[in-house]
Structure formats: structure tokens, C-alpha cells
A and B are shown apart, each in its own frame.
Chain A
Amino acid sequence: MTAANNGQQRQLAWVFDLNRCIGCQTCSVACKVLWTQDEGTENMWWCSVNTQPGRGTPRDYEQMGGGYDANGKLVLGRLPTAEEVGAAWNFNFQDVYAAGKGQAEFLHPSGSGPAWGMNWDEDQGAGTYPNAYFFYLPRICNHCTRPSCVEACPNHAMYKRAEDGLVLRDEDRCRGAQDCMRACPYRKIYFNTTRGVSQHCIGCFPRIEKGVAPACARQCSGRAVFVGFMDDADSAVHKFVRQWGVAVPLHPEWNTEPNVFYIPPLSPPRIRPDGSIDESERRIPMSYLESLFGPGVRPALQTLENEIGKRRRGQPSEVMNTLIAYEWKEMFGPFTRDPAEITWK
């Protein structure tokens, strides 16, 4: 593949495999250590992982509105409160270590107890024992094909790059109107009160430009993140989404056409009250998955089951081979470069 910029719009896409995601937050932490270390970014998690079912981050963001309605009209929702986003708590380290208070002081977040954080309802899930269920949902900016944030920005600070479709913000034009935050139904935009600008996942474009996969993908412990150009028919992301239909977007009904897709979770079968196994029903209700990923999730799961079945019977499966990614670098399209090899001039 060539030619990022010969006039055509190219689109980077991510596929997160939820059967591989173990909720470890390595992607979130890698992103945080790389991009949001400055004053004003403390509470930002451009990449975050939440337990589903759950209230997500910011808390209950799915009810805040945004995106486009059925008629294609931009919807501006509400801003999350500081509590819903969750603060970057500080801790009473010195009081515990060296204030002469002994065991009367124990380490905890300072001030009144926090009420929410980026991963507050970790591993709580839903259901009833022994059929309690949950899975992990990593989220970054969806770098949408129809980015409502771009349309909403009154200062024309936001743009979608032709060379890779990443949705970025010119921070010199941003005036902190926060309309992008109200327009993004995924609430994946944060406000930097120190600088007075909004900020969000930049798709690791400085890495991308050097041929290095984004931190959330390259640093994922679970090898759960595929990256590539959607317009490259040989890319894994294209095959999963367009060819095999095994990867589906989050909340397609919000009409922004996300470019982050998910291989849906294959949960174990349910257990009947007598302890026997009901092979006909998986633990995660299909209705719940459909509420997140739309109707495409059912055939996606069916295809995954069929393809695993082939492997069980000793038959080949290109779908499974691609998901296995025998060589890790196969997951990243052309972005296979080892960053440590880069020397800066």
C-alpha cells in the first residue's frame, strides 16, 4: 500500500478483540504515561477500559447524548460533571510515612472519599451467581468517519486528516468551547482546565507517522488490538470488519460511524440450577450485546463459533489464523517498526 496523501481519504481503524482483553489497563497506562503527564491532564484517560455491564467512564456516559439523530442532525448532549469524570486523587503519603501519627493514619485518597473513577465498577458486572458475567471494553477515540465533534466545534479547531482519518484538534485554535465534548456521544474528550483546551486520543499520530503502532496496540499485554488501514483489503482490520463481519462498532445507532471495532466476547455457557450446563445459552445475554454493538453482533458471534468449530474438527480457518496472529507484528498492518530503532536528528 502506498500514498497516504494523493487526494483520497484514508482511514485508520482499530479492532479490539474482547476475547483477548483481560482488563489489565496496560493500554490505558501506556497511553497515560506517554501523553497525559502534564499539569491539567491528570484526570484524563484517553484510553480506558471498563467492565461491562457497567456505568462506564465518565459515569453513565451512554445517557449523555451526542452524535447524529436518525435524520442526520447533530445532537449536542450534556457535559459530564467533574464527579462523573472522576478526579485524579491525591493521597496522604507523608501523613502516613513521616508525620509521627503511627497507625492512626492509613493511606487513602485525600479529602472526602471519591465517588467515581475511570474504572470504579471494575469486575462487578451483572447476572446472578453462578451465572455472573462481565467483559472488558477498551475505549479510545473512535476517529469517526462522521465525527460529530468536528461539526460541533464553533472555532473550526477540529479536523479529520486525509492521510489517515485521525480526528485531531488544532489546540492553537481551540477556545475551550467544549461543544466537541457535548457532541461526542462516547464522551471520550476531556477538558484541560489549566490550558483551557479540550483534549482527546490523538491516535498516537507521532508514532503512526514513524511507522510505529499506537501505544494502546503495541503495548497491549493480551495482543488484543489490531490496527491498519480500512481501505487496505489485505489488512486484518479490513478482513475482520468488511470481509468476515466478525468485528462490530460500539453503538452504531449514534450514527458517527466509528472506526474502532470489537470482536465480541464468547462467554461460557450458562449453568442450570442443578449445576448442569446449558449449551444453548451463553452467559452474556445476546440482548445486552445487541444493545451495545447493534444487530451485527449476532452474526459476528455465529461466525466466530463456526470458525472455532472448524479448528476443533481439524479444518483450516483463515479467520482464526488471523485472530491468532502467529507473528505479533501481523496485527499492526504497516506499523511494525520498533521505536527503539528510531534516532532523532
Chain B
Amino acid sequence: MEEATRSIVRDYERSRATSPHPASEERYRRIWRWDKVVWGTHTVDCYPGNCPMRVYVRDGKIVREEQAGNFPVIERGVPDMNPLGCQKGVCWSQTIDAPDRLLYPLRRAGERGEGRWQRVSWDDALTAIADSMLDAIQENGPESIIELLGAEGVPWNMVGLGRLFRMVGALVTDVNAEINDFSPGLYLTFGKFNLCSSLDDAFHSELILIFQANPVYTVMASYHYMVEARYNGTEVVIFAPDCSPSTQLVDYHLPVKTGTDAAWALSMCKVIIDEGIYNATFVKEQTDLPFLARTDTGHFLRESDLKAGGSDEQFYVFDARSKKVVEAPRASLALGDVDPALSGRYDVTLANGTRASVTPVFELLREHLKAYDPESAAKICGVHPDQIRRLARKVATKRTGVWAGGTSLKYFHGDLMVRSLTLLLGLTGNWGRKGTGIGCWSIGMFDGLMLLAQKEQPGPDATREFLAMRDGMIAALRAEDPTRTEEMCRIEMVCRMAGLGGMIPPAFFWYRHCGYRDNWNRKEWGDPTMARPFDDYMREAMEKGWWTDVALPQQDVPPRVLIQAGGNTLRRVRGGQNMLLTHLWPQLNTIVTMDFRMSTTALQSDFVLPVANHYEAPRFHIPSPHMLTLIYSDRATPPAGEAKTEWEIARLLAAKLSERAKARGFSAYQSKRGMAYDLSDLTRRFTLGGTLITEEDASEEMLRDTVICGTIPEGTDLQAMREQGYLRFTDWGISPFAINQASDLKSDETHAHSRWHVEKKLPYPTLTRRAQFYIDHDWFLEAGEALPVHKDNPKMGGDHPFVLTSGHNRWSVHSMNTTNPLLLRTHRGQPHAVINTDDARAHGIADGDEVRVWNDMGEFFVPAKVAPNVMPGQIIVYNGWEPYMFRNWRGPMDIEPGLVKWLHLAGGYGHLRYWALQWQPTPVDRAVRVNIARSDARPA
């Protein structure tokens, strides 16, 4: 305690003794008392989350929680991260015994979704589930069992259920497609989508551009850095169609038409190139813009063009110094004596003796950008030409960071928007320095967690053995190609292992088994520049083997058992109930939801298994480079009712599978992919020989392994975490996601990603080994997307006059807080659709009226909230509401067709290949076309 505080406390002790109102005051003093305090957080997929809290317990009951607020200052002159936490987090304690809390295993007693339940024992529930899983395995192979990897409940989902399902051969879907949080635009450019700088790094920016984001809703706990930067002289500019809350707290709001951000970004690129204010050194060294492309085919000039048997991955520049076409270095970005030309046309002699004309991509770009003069761009996007010019000049001269919101991941052409913004940063040298760059989200550093999902033997020696084997593989990959960086070797390793039983990209599941094939082929909903039916692209992708081993389940394997743990697929999957209940549900023999609360998916399940809530079990939050901390959440009280932890559920299910398999004389089998499984010894294998029985055991193992991997201090164990709650990582460790950050991790500085590329000249993990703006894949050339371009939103859902947009809501992390009674009282207690005042008047809609919203997919009903802050023609229904909060349990998610962009099936091209969380098609939901009317105006 500081001296001033001590002195105040002493004074108060004295004055309290003489208070004329002792009894009345004492009543309140007692309310604030507690008898136990433990560390806690919410290990949900709240990103970046990681808010350290203290959980206060009185008389054996959790009474409340409060942010810990003891983060140290990391970098002098940069505000600290305190207090971290939001309204959801500071009343999580209210969910412990809330009306939606699940306390006992339930078995469906009526029709699915009818709301009739029979309370059953854990043993009965697990016996029935195990039997159904065994039936599925025997009849259709283990690929007919699917766990939808929900975003919640990590990490125990991954190390518990994930570990079990891997041992059984069941499929686990890639969470990044499930939640649509993959950034194809960043991936195309950098060969990794998961760049992120630490939250506090924004304070170093001189200019911050926010687009496709409403951070006031989405990153409450760190929004203060925007304001602090602003107070420090940073100019904060937001592009948004609506006057969202975030647009009110910045220096400039530039209204932009929905889904047109590529236009202003490309126009700024044009201004910068035309005015010659681009950073030529950065462009030549860090990007593929100096690379030569053939003017006849549009492809890069490759060694295979010049020499028979030449490489497809060796590219060229024209050296202005030697006046020669020379190889672009692959092992480093450093150019040495070479000065690549950014303009001009050159002739080369091809391997077959003919001549071809080549030109730097920069020259193609200059030509391409002619369509984007500020006046023309303004017509597309609505941003005034003066603002485009003014801002372009600022970006070129100021330390600029871009805040790309999650909405950019959820537009059909979001990849083009992100590529365009990234191009703007590339032209101006705006990444790889503090306060610059563009990012998304990432995991990493908690290596013990990933190890535990895979380990077969307990203890540090087994870990060291595992690491030695891994080092051997990395060395072999480097020997294969000595120009590979450590980052590239790690990616190569996980790519090659992707087919061995990790996550699968769920696009193929949706396409084959959930009815999405029709939606994705529907021409009038799709993009007019898609030259062929979606099926053609799918067929080509399959024939060329671009998704071999991960395109699962196979067409002839019907899904039979669905496990939803820590997720709410009927809320989350675009098209939701209209697609899944119609196409998937009838095929399923058994649907199991594990959750701490009653979700819509739980209501439509056959079994509902109660899981420990936060504060009821030892857990870790998934760490992120945004935070760089490992955060522990302790067990403040035992799980309520008969709820169990995920680890225990997985362990009991493992035992039950062995027991029931033995009873039917069946244990060993092969998957359709030819991998061998054996259920006879599952418990021993799952618990690593009986050493990991409880979460505490598993936690100790994960911490010890993480220490061995070098990312947390020596001696960190569960007791240490219980005492200190969280700690800062000291290094990146063995994960590819961590090394993707490509910067040294320093204890006393903010983290800015990509510094190794810029400072150490380490190449990028892309086909061209540069930040790649030119994608000469045949499909991209066919679509006119080799360079980033603006394309209009397709008419998803049909030709209707309004665009339905959404966004992360303010009142819930995902759907799990939408039913917290306390939070329900902080708004209108129901979902709502925000409708522009003039539109509402034209449609005879008053504030609070129920409206019908419909398109070709279906309809839903929702109360209107009328406000001038949405763009005319736009309707906003924020995401996250439980479907059962809408009439008929149908909400906006149910009329989103869930389209994926056909180009994201592309492969056979350098970095365009699947690895966990990375390159894969993900459904979009923004700017779906709808119509509205007052619900009582519905035609009979």
C-alpha cells in the first residue's frame, strides 16, 4: 500500500469510530466482505480476452468478481493494460446459478427441440452416447462422428475431447471456419493470417485507420488505447457505413457504402503512386511488386519459363543497375547490389526459344489503378475525393496502423478489401515497425497445451523426446530446401501433418452433407465474376488433389453422431437452422451438446451434458500475442449440480467406449482413410498411463511442458499460477502461430509483428517469399483478382432492396451472455433490428414495432429500433442472440445463405494450402439482401 493510501485508511479508521450512523453504514461494509479470493477469468473464445480477475467467495458461494488491475507498465511512455474486463466479465458470477444453467445430464423425452427432457445419470448418458458412437464406427467408420469445435471451452476441449476424438478417429472441424474468423486477404498476402501486434502498440501510431470494425462494441477492454493515442496526438479515422458508436469517438468518420472499402484503399494507392510518395525501398525489398510478369499470359516469369525443368518458384526482377533480368533472392529479402526496376517492359527468351515481353508487377499495378482515381472511387464508395487525397498523403508520411475489424473477414469480397488496405501499407512501408501494420488474431506460446493434445507418454522426458523428434523433422525440411526459414519449416511440417488426424476444414462437410452445395451454386445469389458453377471449381480442386486427406467426411460417409462441446452451431453457422435442421439433423442418430448453459443447439440435441462453468474448474485462457500473458482461472467452488469438467467427461467417455466396445467384441478398426485405431486401452492412453486423472494433473503437465519449450519461466507450476494468476511469456516457443509474429518478444516493449521480415530481411512464407500482392493462380487471373480490385457485394439471398449487416454485439461474448438476466436488463431484453429513421417512416415502422425480415432463404421477426445512425438501405441485427430469443427460434443467421468464395478452394500454388486455422473457404454473412415490413402488414 502506498503511503498516501495508508494515511487515508488510518484517518477513516478513526472517523468510523465516531460515526453518528454506525449501524446503517456497517450494513454496507458487511456486503463488501468475503472470506476467500481466487484468480479467475473466462476461458471462452473472447478475443483477445485474457482478463485477469479476482473471484470473491463468501460462505462457500461465489458472490462477485473484479478485475485484478495489477498489470505492470511494459514500456515506459505507453499506458498500461489495466484494468481489462467488460460488463460480461464482471457479472459472470451471475451465470453460476442462472436460469439457463445446466445442472444434470438430460436425455430428450419428446421430439428434437420440443423441450421435453428426462433427467438421467451420467452413466446412462455416456453408455448411450458410446453405443451410438460404436454403431457409427462399425457401420460407417469413425469419420461419421463429428465434433464441431466450438470456440468456447478451449483449451480443455482441445486437450480433453480433442485428444479423445483423435484417438477414436472422429473428425474435429476447424474452429476458424466455424466462427468465420479467418482472413483470406492477409493469408494471400503474407502466407499467414494471424499477424498481431500487442494491444498497447497502437499507442505508437501517428495515424490509425479503422475499417470494418466497431471496436467500442468488440474490444471494450482495450479500446482505451484508441483514446489515449488520440490524446497523444494520433489521428484516428474510421470508415464505416453506419454512425456506429465507434464513429463518435474518433477524429474523423468517413461514411462508406457497405462493402466498398477496397475502392478508397486502392484510390489512395493510386494517389500515392501518382504523386511518387511511395516508399520505393520497402516496395522493392518487401513486396512482389518488382517481380516480372509476362504480358502475354499474366503469369509471373518463372525459371520454368526460361529453362526446361526449371523451378516454378523462382522469380525474377529487372536489375536497373546491370540492366539484366536477374533471379529474385529466395533465401533473404536483402537485394545486395540489385536495384529492381519498378517500371518498363523487357524482352526475355523462353525455354522454347520464343520471345516474351515482361514487366514489373508494379507497372501492372499502375495500369490497374487507373480505374481508381479519387473521383471514380468516390462514386463507388462514397468517400469524398478530397479525403482520399488528404489521407493518402498522411498514410505516406505517418506511422500508420490499420485496425481491420472482423467484419472484413465476413464480406464476400473481404479478402479484396484487406488486400487493398495491405497494399496501401506496403506502398508506404507501414509494417514491421511499432505503431504500424494490419493484423488479425492468433494463438501460440502455450506449447504445453498443444503437446498434451498429442502426447502418448507422460513426463518431461517424453516431451524432450518429442521435441528432439520435431527438431529432426525441422532439420530435414531445411536440408530439403536450405532457403527455408524456421517459420517456413514449421509451416511445412504442419501442412504435411494436416491429413493425419488434426482438424478438418469443414467446407467439404457443409458442401456434401449439410445442403450448402445448392446455395453455393445458386447463380443469382453468387458473384457475377464467378465464371463457372461452383461445382466445377470443387471438382477441379478435388481432381487436382489440392485438399487430399482433409476434404472430409467423404461423400459416402453419412454423418451419424454430432458432438457440440463449447459451441452453439445452430446459432453460429450461417444459414443455421434452415440448413442444418433440414439437411444434417435427419441424418444424425445422436446429437450431444456439452455446455454449462442451455443453448439453442442444446435444445435441439438428444443428450445435454452439464459442464463446469468458469470459476468452477482450473482452466487457462488461450493466450494471444495481443496480450502475451498466460492466464489461469482457479476453482473457486465445485461445479454446480452434477456438472463435470471437460477433462473428466472425456476420460469417462473414453472408459465407456472401451467397456462397450469390449462388450460387443469389437475394438480395432481402420478409418476410411486407412488409419488404424484401437479402443481397448483408451483410458490408459487418454490419461497417459493413468498419470493425468484430473484437470490439476493435466495442468501441471501442460505447465511443465511449456517451461521445457521455453516460453514461461523455470519453475512455473500450478501453485505458482494459483498465487500470481498470470505471467508474461518470455519467448515464442515451438508453435508456428507464435513464430508467425516474426519479431523478438521483449519484456519491456510493445510487440509489433513482422519486424524480422523488415529488419532481418527474413522472407515471407508465400509462394514468392515476399508480401504477395499479385496472385497469378489461374483462378485468380480468370476472376480478375490477380491484383486487389473492388467488386460489388453479390446479391446473397436474392434481389431485395435492403442490405442486412451485423457485427459483434455489445451484450454478449458469443451467445452465452445473451441470456444473463442482469445483462438482459441493460438493454431492451430482446434482439432488435436497427432501421434508419427515414426507411422506418417510409415503411410505416415505429420504434419497438415488430418487423418481418425476409429473403429467398426465409424470414424472421424482430422488434425494430429506429435511429438515424444507420445508413439508409441498411439494417443491422447484431450477432450473438440465441435463436430461441426470436419468434419461431429463427433469427438473421437463418436467412444468411452462408456462401463461400470459390477462389478460396484454390490450391496447388505455393502457400495456398490448408493447415490448421489457415487457408480454407469460410462462409460470409455481411450484406445479405433482405426486405422488411411491419409484421402485422404481412400479407395473409
A contact set with B: CB distance below 8 Å = 1-5, 17, 19-20, 22-26, 28-30, 32-35, 88-91, 93-94, 96-103, 105-109, 113-114, 117-120, 122-136, 159, 162-163, 168-173, 202, 205-211, 215, 218-224, 265, 267-269, 271, 274-277, 283, 308, 310-314, 320, 323-329, 333-341, 344
The residue in chain A whose Cβ has the minimal distance to the Cβ of B603 is A97
Shortest 8 CB-CB contacts between residues of A and residues of B: A311-B233, A4-B11, A93-B99, A328-B82, A132-B869, A275-B384, A211-B5, A209-B12
| Contact indicator per residue, chain B 78-111, by CB within 8 Å of chain A (1) or not (0) | 1110111111001101100001100000000011
- Which of these binds chain A: B60-68, B503-511, B683-691, B712-720? B60-68
CB neighbours (8 Å) of B827 from chain A are: 117, 119-120, 122
CB neighbours (8 Å) of B819 from chain A are: 91, 93, 107
Instruction: Say how far B386's CB is from chain A's closest CB, in angstroms.
Output: 6
- Which of these binds chain A: B14-22, B365-373, B669-677? B14-22
- Judge whether A211 and B6 touch: CB under 8 Å: yes
Which parts of B864-903 form the interface with A (CB within 8 Å)? Answer: 865-872, 882, 884-889
| Contact indicator per residue, chain B 638-658, by CB within 8 Å of chain A (1) or not (0) | 000000000000000000000
The residue in chain B whose Cβ has the minimal distance to the Cβ of A209 is B12
- Which of these binds chain A: B124-132, B250-258, B308-316, B660-668? B250-258
- Known pairs A219-B83, A277-B252, A334-B5; list 20 more (Cβ under 8 Å): A2-B11, A26-B90, A30-B91, A33-B91, A100-B114, A114-B829, A117-B829, A123-B245, A129-B255, A130-B243, A132-B867, A132-B868, A218-B66, A223-B228, A277-B386, A311-B232, A320-B231, A328-B79, A334-B2, A339-B66
For the complex, what is the distance from the CA of A308 to the CA of B14, rounded to whole Å?
A: 44
CB neighbours (8 Å) of B78 from chain A are: 326
Q: Which of B7, B77, B825 contacts A1 (CB 8 A)?
A: B7
- Which of these binds chain A: B23-31, B134-142, B167-175, B738-746? B23-31
CB neighbours (8 Å) of B872 from chain A are: 129
Provide a sorted-by-A list of 12 A–B residue pairs whose CB atoms are within 8 angstroms.
A1-B7, A17-B227, A22-B220, A25-B826, A29-B823, A33-B94, A97-B115, A117-B827, A123-B834, A124-B869, A311-B231, A311-B232
For the complex, what is the distance from the CA of A100 to the CA of B382, rounded to whole Å?
A: 51
The residue in chain A whose Cβ has the minimal distance to the Cβ of B863 is A113
- Judge whether A324 and B231 touch: CB under 8 Å: yes
Check B851 for interface membership: any CB of A closer than 8 A: no
Given A5-B14, A23-B216, A336-B5 in contact, is the A134-B116 Cβ separation under 8 Å? no
- Judge whether A215 and B66 touch: CB under 8 Å: yes
Instruction: Say how far A10's CB is from chain B's closest CB, in angstroms.
Output: 9
The residue in chain B whose Cβ has the minimal distance to the Cβ of A115 is B848
Q: Which of A90, A219, A313, A333 contacts B66 (CB 8 A)?
A: A219
For the complex, what is the distance from the CA of A218 to the CA of B32, rounded to whole Å?
A: 15
CB neighbours (8 Å) of A209 from chain B are: 9, 12-13, 16, 29
The residue in chain A whose Cβ has the minimal distance to the Cβ of B23 is A172
Instruction: Say how far B797's CB is from chain A's closest CB, in angstroms.
Output: 22
CB neighbours (8 Å) of B16 from chain A are: 209
The residue in chain A whose Cβ has the minimal distance to the Cβ of B869 is A132
Instruction: Say how far A32's CB is from chain B's closest CB, in angstroms.
Output: 7
The residue in chain A whose Cβ has the minimal distance to the Cβ of B51 is A221
Check B282 for interface membership: any CB of A closer than 8 A: no
- Judge whether A106 and B86 touch: CB under 8 Å: no
Instruction: Say how far A289's CB is from chain B's closest CB, in angstroms.
Output: 13
Instruction: Say how far A31's CB is from chain B's closest CB, in angstroms.
Output: 10
CB neighbours (8 Å) of B888 from chain A are: 103, 106
For the complex, what is the distance from the CA of A208 to the CA of B9, rounded to whole Å?
A: 8
Given A97-B115, A275-B384 in contact, is the A89-B86 Cβ separation under 8 Å? no
Given A122-B827, A320-B231 in contact, is the A172-B93 Cβ separation under 8 Å? no
For the complex, what is the distance from the CA of A102 to the CA of B12, rounded to whole Å?
A: 58
Given A125-B867, A274-B384, A324-B79 in contact, is the A334-B7 Cβ separation under 8 Å? yes
- Judge whether B87 and A25 touch: CB under 8 Å: yes
The residue in chain A whose Cβ has the minimal distance to the Cβ of B109 is A100
CB neighbours (8 Å) of A334 from chain B are: 2, 4-5, 7-8
- Judge whether A102 and B111 touch: CB under 8 Å: yes
Check B221 for interface membership: any CB of A closer than 8 A: yes
Q: Which of A3, A172, A267, A320 contacts B11 (CB 8 A)?
A: A3
CB neighbours (8 Å) of A19 from chain B are: 227, 230-231, 249
For the complex, what is the distance from the CA of A96 to the CA of B819, rounded to whole Å?
A: 12
Instruction: Say how far B864's CB is from chain A's closest CB, in angstroms.
Output: 11
CB neighbours (8 Å) of B766 from chain A are: none
Check B70 for interface membership: any CB of A closer than 8 A: yes
| Contact indicator per residue, chain B 216-255, by CB within 8 Å of chain A (1) or not (0) | 1000110110011011110100000001010111111101
For the complex, what is the distance from the CA of A4 to the CA of B223, rounded to whole Å?
A: 36
Instruction: Say how far B70's CB is from chain A's closest CB, in angstroms.
Output: 6
CB neighbours (8 Å) of A275 from chain B are: 255, 378, 382-384, 387
Check B59 for interface membership: any CB of A closer than 8 A: no
For the complex, what is the distance from the CA of A193 to the CA of B285, rounded to whole Å?
A: 73
- Judge whether B224 and A118 touch: CB under 8 Å: no
The residue in chain B whose Cβ has the minimal distance to the Cβ of A34 is B64
Check B842 for interface membership: any CB of A closer than 8 A: no
CB neighbours (8 Å) of A313 from chain B are: 233
For chain B, the count of residues having a C-beta within 8 Å of the partner chain is 124
The residue in chain B whose Cβ has the minimal distance to the Cβ of A309 is B233
Check B466 for interface membership: any CB of A closer than 8 A: no
Check B459 for interface membership: any CB of A closer than 8 A: no
The residue in chain B whose Cβ has the minimal distance to the Cβ of A339 is B66
For the complex, what is the distance from the CA of A329 to the CA of B77, rounded to whole Å?
A: 15
The residue in chain B whose Cβ has the minimal distance to the Cβ of A99 is B115
CB neighbours (8 Å) of B248 from chain A are: 133-135, 265, 267-268, 283
For the complex, what is the distance from the CA of A52 to the CA of B4, rounded to whole Å?
A: 37
- Judge whether A128 and B868 touch: CB under 8 Å: yes
- Judge whether A221 and B83 touch: CB under 8 Å: yes
- Judge whether B824 and A89 touch: CB under 8 Å: yes
Check B323 for interface membership: any CB of A closer than 8 A: no
- Which of these binds chain A: B33-41, B147-155, B588-596, B699-707? B33-41
CB neighbours (8 Å) of B42 from chain A are: none
- Judge whether A26 and B87 touch: CB under 8 Å: yes
- Judge whether B822 and A221 touch: CB under 8 Å: no
Check B830 for interface membership: any CB of A closer than 8 A: yes
For the complex, what is the distance from the CA of A337 to the CA of B838, rounded to whole Å?
A: 51
- Judge whether B825 and A117 touch: CB under 8 Å: yes
Check B598 for interface membership: any CB of A closer than 8 A: yes
Check B470 for interface membership: any CB of A closer than 8 A: no
- Judge whether A220 and B83 touch: CB under 8 Å: yes
Check B54 for interface membership: any CB of A closer than 8 A: yes
| Contact indicator per residue, chain B 598-629, by CB within 8 Å of chain A (1) or not (0) | 10000100000000000000000000000000
Check B537 for interface membership: any CB of A closer than 8 A: no
CB neighbours (8 Å) of A1 from chain B are: 4, 7-8
- Judge whether B828 and A120 touch: CB under 8 Å: yes
Q: Which of A94, A130, A218, A344 contacts B83 (CB 8 A)?
A: A218
- Judge whether B8 and A4 touch: CB under 8 Å: yes
CB neighbours (8 Å) of A101 from chain B are: 114-115
Instruction: Say how far A224's CB is from chain B's closest CB, in angstroms.
Output: 8
- Judge whether A205 and B115 touch: CB under 8 Å: no
CB neighbours (8 Å) of B54 from chain A are: 339-340
- Judge whether B66 and A312 touch: CB under 8 Å: no
- Judge whether B83 and A223 touch: CB under 8 Å: yes
CB neighbours (8 Å) of A335 from chain B are: 5, 8
Check B73 for interface membership: any CB of A closer than 8 A: yes
Given A91-B821, A98-B116, A129-B243 in contact, is the A5-B866 Cβ separation under 8 Å? no
The residue in chain A whose Cβ has the minimal distance to the Cβ of B81 is A328
- Judge whether B25 and A205 touch: CB under 8 Å: yes
CB neighbours (8 Å) of A208 from chain B are: 12
CB neighbours (8 Å) of A219 from chain B are: 66-67, 83, 85, 90
- Judge whether A308 and B230 touch: CB under 8 Å: yes
CB neighbours (8 Å) of B13 from chain A are: 209
Check B117 for interface membership: any CB of A closer than 8 A: yes
CB neighbours (8 Å) of B286 from chain A are: none
Q: Which of A20, A276, A329 contacts B224 (CB 8 A)?
A: A20
Check B836 for interface membership: any CB of A closer than 8 A: yes
